[in-house]
Structure 1
Amino acid sequence: MDLRAFFTTFGLVFLAELGDKTQLTTMSMAASSGRRWLVFVASALALVLSSLIAVLAGEWLRARVEPVLIERTAGALFVILGGWMLASTFVGET
């Protein structure tokens, strides 16, 4: 097993999920339903399924597109989306 890849992936996904909409929604569902274990299992399964879809899509993409192009496109999308979100904080939505 490639422990470096494992811990890198774990750390990045863990940090990315902290305080995001999914975590806040899960916290809200657990608080309002009073069924914390049901909410935990359902949210964990949802994250596993969405991760599976991402891994399968990434594997499919890797077989068809050069990895450096994928990295550059992903980086550009992060910058564009980050700029869009930053701009939307200064410009009121109508």
Structure 2
Amino acid sequence: MHGYLVVFGTVFLAELGDKTQLATLLFLFDQRHAPAIVFFAASMALIASTAVAVVLGSAAQRYLTMLPLQAIAGVSFLAMGVWMLVEHFRR
């Protein structure tokens, strides 16, 4: 149960304010789409993209076990943050 809560919480927080969530919100502004249809379609899209990530991650796990993936991911996120700050102050 702990693993479920960690994954759920992490993905939930990562998706808040995400461009995918904003795109879903925009579909609701267009009154041609019923809220139930938008909810179902967006949910299925998230499930499908997550399934692709799980399949690719499971396959990659066999080949990338020697790489320090957490460190690489952390450095990548730090680099993106620095890049965004540089672009902000550059203007």
**Structure 1 length normalisation: TM-score?**
0.84
Q: What is residue 6 of structure 2 aligned with on the other side?
A: 8
- Superposed counterparts of 1:45-64, under 5 Å: 45-64=44-63
- 1:89 pairs with 2:91: no
Deviates more, 1:45-54 or 1:27-36: 27-36
What 5-or-longer segments of structure 2 have no aligned partner?
A: none
Residues of 2 paired with 1:6 and 1:38: CA distance?
A: 27
Query: Kindly tell me: are residues 32 and 85 of structure 1, through their superposed partners in 2, closer, same or farther at Cα, counting changes over 3 Å?
Result: same
Count of matched residue positions in the alignment of Structure 1 and Structure 2: 90
What 5-or-longer segments of structure 1 have no aligned partner?
A: none
Q: What is residue 36 of structure 1 aligned with on the other side?
A: 35
Residues of 1 paired with 2:41 and 2:68: CA distance?
A: 35
CA RMSD, aligned part only?
1.6
Q: What is residue 69 of structure 2 aligned with on the other side?
A: 70
Letter in 2 for 1:61: A
Letter in 2 for 1:32: D
